[in-house]
Amino acid sequence: MGRAVAARVGSLFRLGLLLGGLGSLASAEPRAPPDRIAIIGAGIGGTSSAYYLRKKFGNDVKIDVFEREEVGGRLATLKVQGHEYEVGGSVIHPLNLHMKRFVKELGLSTVPVSGGLMGVYNGKTLVFEESSWFIINMIKLVWRYGFQSLRMHMWVEDLLDKFMRVYRYQSHDYAFSSVEKLMHAIGGDDYVGLLNHTLRESLQRAGFSETFLNEMVAPIMRVNFGQSMDLNAFVGAVSLTAADSNLWAVEGGNKVVCSGLLQAANSNLIFGSVMSIEEKTRTKQTGNPTKMYEVTYKTGSETHSDFYDIVLVATPLNQRMSGITFLNFDSPIEEFQEPYQHLVTTLVKGELNATLFSSRSQDQFGLSVILVTDNSDMFINSLSIVSPVKEKERPALAGGGTHVWKTFSRDVLTKEQISKLFLSYDYAVRKTWLSYPHYQPPQKCPSIILHDRLYYLNGIEFAASCMEMSAIAGYNAALLAYHRWNGNADMIDQDGLYEKLKTEL
């Protein structure tokens, strides 16, 4: 199967390279490009949009990217004792074609992410333990869950297969004005409908057993999205793909993709905190009064402002997380209230107390990923061994009972809790953040078009929050901004694209 997938990626990827950019030939002659574009947020969404905006609008437009913290956003690393570890978005799936393309075009290297052996803990015992023998795993899975895991694989594969259509649409330059329209173009009503149902409902309807859902599916949701199967079925499927093998990451940290994209886009990075965006009429050099957006930002204690033709917001606006105020718009800018989840990522270097999980002796434990069920009453969502982002630092850390473990939890871990998990530890460092949305289907995704030439990327996170979805949103926003600037209505929100492009090829 691995090879078949690789071959498919290969051919889709080449297709993308061949067709990228051809779409615009079919459209009307573009008008003069905008003078200046602002992007707020230098995470993967903002930086990928910078990259594609440069490709679409050419070399003359000035692109400013504002970042108030660090380039990479939630692709963040923590540095401890001289080694850096991924603490945010950490794995990339072989079918994440945008991430793949970026790594290739930026000349970066990749490192495999081998999860190691996984076990599921229910608060008393390990209800499932992976074996290093593939065949033993299959027997264990079939013994305990019948053919549920194979069927689950097919359920996810089917959704993923349809999802791949988005790459074809984008390589033909098609854009969508809402996340729902994008989802509809991928797979019709059923596909948008995934946002309206919980994963639990969808899988129960598909006939999966409660034991399988509780012991296999729920723990995977907890590690990836900090909630159980009450999230929407689409993000659930995305989360299940992260249980695949062949995952990888970027050598030196996934965030280097973001700095690479900024550079490739020849954009101007401004470290500053955007306070407001205001609509104003300005007289340009051409003498015509033009509606523009004034972006006011703070660098240190100084306040500056600049005018832009197009603004992309690539940082969450929900519950005013970004602190941006919209001033003097002819119609007020929509506010989004859906919450993001508070998550604590803790790195602990120490020796796990394996007897907490298993009756086997300490040195026979062998698991490097521990997931937990909903009813386990555990204060953590997961526990796994992590390796530094630099491959050459890896071998030196292997061996012995001491490892660097990463846990996700809702609350900051107390000393007592850490001591419960570890026989002894050198350090425990943490990062606390708002990591991803709290999913509450039926889900309506925040709008992409906030105003005439003001776009919002993060709405896609309410379908599913991950690196590749943000890259898709970045590309889509760039195409949407470009087509709306040039009046190419025929390139936006086209339905029946799948059939149309199928006959074209």
Ligand X SMILES: *[C@@H]1O[C@H](CO)[C@@H](O)[C@H](O)[C@H]1NC(C)=O
Amino acid at the residue 285: Q
Residue 34 binds ligand X (CB under 6 A)? no
Q: Residue 195 or 467: which CB sits closer to ligand X?
A: 195
Residues between 417 and 436 that touch ligand X (CB under 6 A)? 423
Q: Is 305 in the site for ligand X (CB under 6 A)?
A: no
Question: Among 24-32, 81-89, 190-198, 215-223, which window interacts with ligand X (CB under 6 A)?
Answer: 190-198
Among 246, 353, 402, 447, binds ligand X (CB under 6 A): 353
145-146-151 Cα angle (round to 5): 95
CA dihedral 410, 416, 422, 425 (to 10 degrees): 100
Which listed residue (41, 46, 193, 236) binds ligand X by CB under 6 A? Answer: 193
**Smallest distance, Å, CB 190 to ligand X?**
8
Min dist CB 359 to ligand X, Å, is: 10
Stretch that binds ligand X, among 38-46, 189-197, 289-297, 387-395 (CB under 6 A): 189-197
Given the complex with ligand X, which of 259 and 353 has the nearer CB atom? 353
Shortest Cβ distance from residue 340 to ligand X (Å)? 20
Min. distance of Cβ 195 from ligand X in angstroms? 7
- Whose Cβ is closer to ligand X: residue 141's or residue 352's? 352
- Evaluate whether 33 touches 482 at the Cβ level (below 8 Å): no
62-67 and 268-271 beta bridge pairing: parallel
Residues 457 and 314: beta-carbon distance below 8 Å: yes
CB-wise, 113 or 192, nearer to ligand X? 192
Nearest CB to ligand X, comparing residues 131 and 355: 355
Residue given tokens 């593939």 in the structure block: 134
Of the two residues 137 and 353, which places its CB atom closer to ligand X in the complex?
353
Q: Which is nearer to ligand X, 189 or 416 (CB)?
A: 189
Residue 310 phi/psi, 5-degree rounding, is -135, 140
CA distances from 126 to 119, 129, 155, 371 (A): 6, 7, 26, 9
Of the candidates 206, 327, 356, 489, which one interacts with ligand X according to CB under 6 A? 356
The smaller minimum CB distance to ligand X, of residues 401 and 442, is found at: 442
Query: Judged by CB under 6 A, how many residues of this single chain contact ligand X?
Result: 10
Interface residue with ligand X, options 355, 362, 414, 432 (CB under 6 A): 355
CB of 477 to ligand X, least distance (A): 23
Cβ distance to ligand X smaller for residue 121 or 297: 121
Order the strands of the 289-299 sheet from edge to edge: 302-308, 289-299, 273-283, 325-327
CB 139 to ligand X: min, Å: 29
- Which conformational region is residue 61 in: left (phi greater than 0), alpha (psi within -120 to 50 degrees), or beta? beta
> Is 196 among the residues that bind ligand X (CB under 6 A)?
yes
First to last CA, the chain: 26
- Which DSSP category does 75 fall into? S
Cα–Cα distance between 117 and 384 in angstroms, integer? 10
Q: Which of residues 239-268 bind ligand X (CB under 6 A)?
A: none
Q: Which amino acid is at 26?
A: A
Please, is 132 exposed, middle or buried when counting C-beta atoms within 10 Å of its C-beta (0-12, 13-18, 19+)?
Answer: exposed
Site for ligand X in 436-455 (CB under 6 A): 442, 444
Tell whether residue 178 is a contact of ligand X (CB under 6 A). no
Question: Could you tell me which stretch among 99-107, 314-322, 349-357, 492-500 binds ligand X (CB under 6 A)?
Answer: 349-357
Measured from the CB atom, the residue of 75 and 192 that comes closer to ligand X is 192
- Under DSSP, the state recorded for 460 is G
Q: What is the dihedral of CA 134, 136, 140, 145, to 10 degrees?
A: 40
For the bound state, the minimum distance from the C-beta of residue 234 to ligand X, rounded and expressed in Å, comes to 12
Nearest distance from residue 185's CB to ligand X, in Å?
13
C-beta of residue 121 within 8 angstroms of C-beta of residue 370: yes
Q: How far apart (Å, rounded) are the C-alpha atoms in residues 498 and 185?
A: 7
Burial of 502 (0-12, 13-18, 19+ CB in 10 A): exposed
- Best CA proximity match to 467, nearest among 169, 156, 95: 95
Q: Which residues of 391-401 are buried (b: 16+ CB within 10 A; e: fewer)?
A: eeeeeebeeee
Judged by CB under 6 A, the stretch of 65-73, 136-144, 187-195, 367-375 that binds ligand X is: 187-195
Q: Which is nearer to ligand X, 16 or 193 (CB)?
A: 193
Q: Which residues contact 330 (CB under 8 A, 6 or more apart)?
A: 279
Instruction: Establish if 189 lies at the interface with ligand X (CB under 6 A).
Output: yes
Which lies closer to ligand X via its Cβ, residue 164 or residue 423?
423
Question: Can you tell me which of 40, 76, 126, 192 binds ligand X, judged by CB under 6 A?
Answer: 192
From 12-20, 296-304, 348-356, 459-467, span contacting ligand X (CB under 6 A): 348-356
Between CA 164 and CA 100 the distance in angstroms is: 14
Q: Which is nearer to ligand X, 189 or 330 (CB)?
A: 189
Number of residues written out for the chain: 505
Q: How far is the CB of 124 from ligand X (least distance, A)?
A: 11
Which residues of this protein are in contact with ligand X, per CB under 6 A? 189, 192-193, 196, 353, 355-356, 423, 442, 444
